[in-house]
Amino acid sequence: MDARAWDERYAASDLVWSREPNQFVAAELADLPPGRAVDLAAGEGRNAIWLAERGWSATAVDFSQVALDKGARLAGDLSLAGDVTWVRADATTWQPPAPVDLVVVAYLQVPAEDRRRAVRGAVTMLRPGGTLLLVAHDSTNLAEGTGGPQDPAVLMTADDVLGDLEGMDVEVLRAERVAREVATQDPHGGAESRTAWDCLVRLVRVA
């Protein structure tokens, strides 16, 4: 899916994603001391905004200008207009002007070659001691979970991501499949909870 297609998707609704941060981003990063952060493939910037609310200087990067504009308006509504920088760019190749303390990559949906370029680029953005957190739709979600992309080419496992980073000097803190409960409508108009499977990788750049 190209930038124009994502522009159309973001233009078609108020918010494609929730106003709240991804649950794993919030759980993993709540205790990190604020610094400089990049939200890579940020969409409407929900994670960047959440970081800014906690004192981070955040940069949201996405190739959809429509998504970035929506995020900027939301940040303005929350009096955070000066705390998030919005950058239209390719998440697989963009680099910040200086090293950062944190990179978040949440649900980047690209083929394996592009994913490898993006995650290796994310590590190079980090200062030594900086954190990378990646959350994505796990490959097993296609058969065992609910929702998410139906194209196996854009799904991944934690092991895939670690393979992408072969040869890089990192300390892996977590690399596993994680469950995410999703509320759905049942056939009788009620609500039920189903499990979606994500992969989560958290690591620190050593050098």
77 has a pLDDT exceeding 50: yes
Q: What is the pLDDT of residue 44?
A: 93
Do β-strands 126-137 and 84-88 pair in parallel, antiparallel, or remain unpaired?
Answer: unpaired
Q: Which carries the bigger pLDDT value, residue 16 or residue 19?
A: 19
Q: What is the pLDDT of residue 78?
A: 87
Helix or strand holding residue 201 (H, E): strand 191-205
Alpha-carbon distance of 185 to 199, in angstroms, equals: 25
- Within 10 A of 136 (CB to CB), how many other CB atoms are there? 26
103 has a pLDDT exceeding 60: yes
- Among candidates 199, 152, 151, 195, which has minimal Cα distance to 174? 199
Burial of 16 (0-12, 13-18, 19+ CB in 10 A): middle
HSE at residue 128, side-chain half, CA atoms within 13 A, is 3
Phi/psi of residue 203, each to 5°?
A: -150, 165
Percentage of the chain beyond pLDDT 70 is 88
91 has a pLDDT exceeding 60: yes
Structure tokens at 6: 């994502």
72 has a pLDDT exceeding 70: yes
How many Å separate Cα 134 from the centre of its chain?
6
Q: What is the pLDDT of residue 187?
A: 60
Helical residues (DSSP H) of the chain, grouped into ranges: 3-11, 23-29, 46-53, 65-77, 112-125, 141-144, 158-164
- Within 10 A of 87 (CB to CB), how many other CB atoms are there? 16
Q: At what angle do helices 3-11 and 65-77 cross, to 10 degrees?
A: 40
169 has a pLDDT exceeding 50: yes
Domains of the chain: 3-129+155-169+179-205 (3.40.50.150)
pLDDT digits (tens, 9 = 90+) for 123-167: 999 999 999 999 999 999 999 999 999 999 999 999 999 999 999
Do β-strands 57-62 and 36-40 pair in parallel, antiparallel, or remain unpaired?
Answer: parallel
Q: What is the pLDDT of residue 179?
A: 97
190 has a pLDDT exceeding 50: yes
Q: Which carries the bigger pLDDT value, residue 197 or residue 183?
A: 197
pLDDT digits (tens, 9 = 90+) for 20-39: 899 999 999 999 999 999 99
110 has a pLDDT exceeding 90: yes
**Mean pLDDT for all residues in the chain:** 90
Q: Which carries the bigger pLDDT value, residue 196 or residue 19?
A: 196
Alpha-carbon distance of 24 to 26, in angstroms, equals: 5
